A and B are shown apart, each in its own frame.
Chain A
Amino acid sequence: MADPEIKSYEPHHESQSAAVTESRPVKAVLMAIALAFLAIFLLLPLIVVFHEALAKGVGAYTEALSSPDTRSAIRLTLLVAAISVPLNVVFGISAAWAIAKFEFKGKAFLTTLIDLPFSVSPVISGLVYVLLFGAQGLLGTWLKAHGIVILFAVPGIVLATIFVTFPFVARELIPLMQEQGNGDEEAALSLGASGWQAFWYVTLPNVKWGLLYGVLLCNARAMGEFGAVSVVSGHIRGLTNTMPLHVEILYNEYNAVGAFAVASLLAGLALVTLVLKTLLEMRYGAELAATRGH
């Protein structure tokens, strides 16, 4: 790494900080390595998405986006996110209330279970529903007899999406609500508020930025999930194709402009997510600091 000798030859005005920082050349090299790494691995892939999407001009781009299959993929993705995100928000708030406001046996174990979906491969997250609801699945025959369709249809896609986005809201709220303690709620209750009022007027305003942060990440993943959804969707064009799955189909058909046009919408969503996330961290950094992470 650094040649430790260099710093003793630095001009005098630098010597004060030289002890606790790297010498100028080392600094420059480290910064060059870090920024080059970020540029190659993060920036270039992002640029190439928009470059390829617009490779044949704006006309081809808008045409690719206005095809009926693309339209229906966008609609399905929005629908799936609109169902799965609110459900996980309700779960996240409820789990955080139980875990952060009370002391009970098995709390640590419950917290571990909530994080479980993060350590399961997305493909396995889809597979478990195939094993449950598929034709050879545990409930397959019963479902068929009653005419209920879950797999290769919207319910299956929603379930797989809920599975992979399950922990996002809960894991933002739990540490935040633990940090804030019970004092505010106890004060509200002693002043005669009902439990709902204490939640609605005291707790919710206290955690709103953390909640928004969790929703943001949950939504990005819900709209972008590929592996789990791919296993349960059946890839029926115009019916069970979400945007990420549509990207795959177009790409495999060598329709690069089409694939990257849809991909550019998803990349735009990712950029909006990042901007909002950064703004939240800048303005409410102290409050979010406890929960900062992934």
Chain B
Amino acid sequence: MTTAPAKAGWRFRQPSVIPGFGLTLGFSLAYLTLIILIPLSGLVWRSAALGWADFWAIAIDRRTLNALRISFGTAFLAAVVNVVFGTVVAWVLVRYRFPGRRIADAMVDLPFALPTAVAGIALTTLYAPNGWIGQLLMPLGIKVAYTPLGIVVALVFIGLPFVVRTVQPIMEEIDKEVEEAAATLGASRFQIITRVLFPGLAPAIITGFSLAFARGVGEYGSVIFIAGNLPFKSEIAPLLIVIRLEEYNYEAATAIAAIMLALSFLMLLVVNLVQTWSRKRYG
């Protein structure tokens, strides 16, 4: 970085008259390394130090497997719900004009701004058997609070803005002339939506889905209040990490965290592949 070869084809950076490159990059890298990279590699190092046999024993422990299944399963369901309703919400906010639209639009960001613990106790109070929504669902035999369904409800709350805010800007960019052209060529509204609009939105919807899913898998604060936290039934993986930590079982906590990180990265990879495929297919 200090002495760049004068005429070499490879150079670390393009020349520029703007000063401060060394200072800002140096500070950013140092801060990033100290706060994020060293602590995270500590986790990788600790789980590698466990040894394969110990690591595997923790990984296939029934309680671990169930917690992972519940975390990924509920996050998946919640992300699906958010894709459906989030897309409808985005459509209504972009295309229709009605009083209170601006407020509704601003409200979508509430889950970003509201602390998760507050969301957790509020949702639990709403969906408890004597809560405003819980008592309406009780006669129908639907129990939400203290069941896996409660986890899904909390994750729908947490994930909604990810879908809406990813899909909304793409919808705003859609050229109405394309729809008009399709209509003049005799396409029905239904055909326009499925054949013209949806393909353009698909990559954004997939991104929104993956963001909501990733956030849901790791979510802790809003879930632990409403979940009931029964081992094997409604115990999420982040909670199991906390429980293992409280038992001073650092090995198990580390192993579960490493598995979660690995699965999340694998998932992001798959989503990226799907996205590349959908871009190719729908252009």
Nearest neighbor of A260 in chain B, beta-carbon distance:
B121
Please, which residues of chain B bring their CB within 8 A of the CB of A37?
85, 88-89
Give the number of chain A interface residues (Cβ < 8 Å): 104
**Chain A, Cβ-Cβ closest to B241:** A123
Main secondary structure of the interface of A (DSSP, over half): helix
A42 to B105, CA, bound (A): 11
Find A186's partner among B18, B110, B217, B265 (CB 8 Å cutoff). Answer: B18
Is A79 positioned at the interface, with any CB of B under 8 Å from its CB?
no
The answer to whether A266 touches B118, judged by C-beta atoms less than 8 angstroms apart, is yes
Bound-complex Cα distance A137 to B110 (A): 37
Is B35's beta carbon under 8 Å from chain A?
Answer: yes
B157 neighbours in A (Cβ, 8 Å)? 41-42, 45
Please name the residue on chain B nearest to A37 by beta carbon: B85
- B residues near A22, Cβ cutoff 8 Å: 189
Least distance between B91 CB and chain A CB atoms (Å): 7
Asked if A236 is at the interface of the complex by the 8 Å CB criterion, the answer is: no
Tell me how far the C-beta of A89 lies from the nearest C-beta in chain B, rounded to whole angstroms.
12
Within the assembled complex, what's the spacing in Å between the Cα atoms of A132 and B102? 46
When distances are taken between beta carbons in the complex, the residues of chain A under 8 Å from B261 are 120, 124
Contacts of A134 in B (CB 8 A): 250
Q: Is the CB of B176 within 8 A of A132?
A: no
Report which of A119, A136, A226 forms a contact with B214, defined as CB distance below 8 A.
A119
B171 within 8 A of A: no
- Shortest distance between the CB of B133 and any CB in chain A (Å): 7
B260 interface residue (CB < 8 Å to A): yes
Q: Given the known inter-chain contacts A45-B119, A123-B220, A244-B221, please indicate yes or no for A278 contacting B106, CB distance below 8 A.
A: yes
Asked if A227 meets B238 with Cβ closer than 8 Å, knowing A1-B190, A34-B89, the reply is yes
Stretch in B22-30, B53-61, B273-281 touching the partner: B22-30
B38 interface residue (CB < 8 Å to A): yes
Residues of B within 8 A of A105 (CB): 12-13
The majority secondary structure among interface residues of chain B is helix
Contact A48 to B132, CB < 8 A, known contacts A121-B238, A263-B118, A292-B169: yes
Which partner residue on chain B sits nearest A125 by CB separation? Answer: B39
What is the distance, in angstroms, from B129's C-beta to the closest C-beta of chain A? 15
Find out whether the CB atom of B106 lies under 8 angstroms from the CB atom of A2: no
Query: Given the known A-B contacts A45-B123, A124-B257, A127-B245, are A163 and B39 also in contact in the complex, defined by CB atoms under 8 Å?
Result: yes
Is B151 located at the chain interface by the 8 A CB criterion? no
A4 at the interface (CB under 8 A from B): yes
Give the interface centre of B104, B108, B122, B161 by most chain A CB atoms within 10 Å: B122
A134 CB, min distance to chain B CBs, angstroms: 7
Interface-side segment among A64-72, A91-99, A141-149, A204-212: A91-99
Query: What B residues does A98 contact at CB under 8 A?
Result: 20-21, 24-25, 28
Contacts A42-B160, A128-B42 given; does A136 touch B248 at CB 8 Å: yes
Q: Are B36 and A44 in contact (CB under 8 A)?
A: no
Q: Which of B21, B109, B156, B179 contacts A274 (CB 8 A)?
A: B109
Inter-chain contacts of A49 with B (CB < 8 A): 118, 121-122
Give chain A residues whose Cβ lies under 8 Å from the Cβ of B110: 42, 46, 270, 274
Q: Are B193 and A94 within 8 A (Cβ)?
A: no
> At the interface, yes or no: B9 with Cβ under 8 Å from chain A?
no
Chain B residues with Cβ under 8 A from A248's Cβ? Answer: 117, 225
What residue in chain A is nearest B105 (Cβ atoms)? A278
Question: Is B176 a contact of A41 with CB atoms below 8 Å?
Answer: no
| Interface flag for B282 (CB, 8 Å) | no
A136 CB to nearest B CB, Å: 5
Contact (Cβ within 8 A) B40 A199: no
- Distance between Cα atoms of A101 and B133 in the complex (Å): 52
Least CB distance from B115 to A in Å reads: 3
A225 within 8 A of B: yes
Query: Can you list 15 residue pairs at the A/B interface with Cβ under 8 Å?
Result: A33-B85, A34-B85, A37-B88, A41-B160, A52-B125, A110-B29, A163-B39, A166-B35, A186-B18, A198-B18, A230-B242, A244-B221, A248-B117, A248-B225, A292-B165
Q: 10 more A-B contacts (CB under 8 A) besides A104-B12, A119-B264, A226-B116?
A: A2-B193, A35-B104, A42-B107, A45-B122, A127-B253, A132-B38, A224-B117, A226-B221, A278-B102, A292-B165
